[in-house]
């Protein structure tokens, strides 16, 4: 089996002191005209990204979503003795785990928006007493909100599905998430879309 793995850098930054807003869209879907071994029930997930920690997060999130769809999912980072994915390392793990499908995930950062919020000070007043002579005397209280930056990222993930028996790519899904949330939020949203589309298109039950 020959797998072509491209490594893309991905930068995932959590927003600070803001309410995360996130949208995930499907950009592109490609499917082979004949997928003889579908539906697949046991897959290996390989995140081909430079940072091992990022790869682990992607594989774990996608595994959780696929397991929710009754698919047995394996993670390359967790189960391979190799530190980086390669054709040989993936082929070896495919043989060890007995999976019938392999999903290779690549990621890229297509855009970043940064909104800076300056420090804001609000002053509230209240009367000092309840009698006539204290009514027109005030106490003043300042409430300061420190400055912060809000990050909104546009992350694109491509999930290529390979048949483990033939080595052929039978499915490809490209999705993008615009988010001001955390890495976990992005990964889970992308994984949920993948699991849903695989089921919709008959790749899994």
pLDDT in tens, 25-67: 999 999 999 999 999 999 999 999 988 999 999 999 999 999 9
Task: Give the pLDDT confidence score for residue 154 in this predicted structure.
Answer: 85
The answer on pLDDT for 153 being more than 90 is no
Average pLDDT over residues 104-124: 70
Parent domain of 35: 22-117+149-200
In a domain, 5, yes or no: no
Task: Give the pLDDT confidence score for residue 132 in this predicted structure.
Answer: 53
In a domain, 158, yes or no: yes
In a domain, 123, yes or no: no
User: Do the Cβ atoms of 103 and 93 come closer than 8 Å?
Assistant: no
In a domain, 9, yes or no: no
pLDDT band, very low/low/confident/very high, at 162 (cuts 50, 70, 90): very high
Higher pLDDT, 9 or 192: 192
Look at the chain and report how many structural domains it folds into: 1
The answer on pLDDT for 125 being more than 70 is no
Distance CA 121, CA 16 (A): 19
Q: Cis ω on the peptide bond leading into residue 39 (within 30° of 0)?
A: yes
In a domain, 135, yes or no: no
Phi-psi region of 64 (alpha: psi -120 to 50; beta: other; left: phi over 0): alpha
In a domain, 205, yes or no: no
CATH, residue 51: 3.40.50.10610
In a domain, 124, yes or no: no
pTM: 0.73
In a domain, 180, yes or no: yes
The answer on pLDDT for 16 being more than 70 is no
């Amino acid at each position: 089996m020959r797998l072509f793995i491209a490594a893309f850098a991905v930068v995932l930054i959590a927003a600070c002191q803001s309410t995360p807003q996130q949208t995930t869209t499907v950009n592109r879907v490609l499917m082979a005209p004949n997928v003889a071994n579908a539906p697949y029930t046991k897959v290996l997930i390989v995140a081909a990204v430079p940072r091992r920690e990022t790869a682990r997060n992607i594989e774990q999130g996608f595994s959780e979503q696929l397991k929710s769809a009754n698919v047995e999912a394996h993670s390359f980072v967790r189960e391979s003795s190799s530190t980086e994915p390669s054709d040989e390392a993936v082929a070896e793990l495919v043989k060890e785990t007995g999976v019938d499908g392999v999903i290779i995930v690549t990621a890229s950062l297509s855009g970043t928006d940064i909104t800076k919020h300056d420090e804001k000070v609000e002053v509230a007043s209240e009367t000092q007493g309840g009698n006539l002579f204290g009514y027109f005397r005030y106490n003043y209280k300042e409430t300061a909100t420190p400055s912060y930056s809000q990050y909104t990222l546009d992350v694109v993930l491509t999930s290529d599905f390979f048949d483990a028996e033939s080595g052929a790519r039978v499915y490809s899904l490209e999705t993008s998430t615009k988010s001001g949330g955390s890495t976990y939020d992005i990964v889970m949203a992308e994984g949920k879309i993948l699991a849903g589309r695989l089921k919709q298109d008959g790749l899994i039950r």
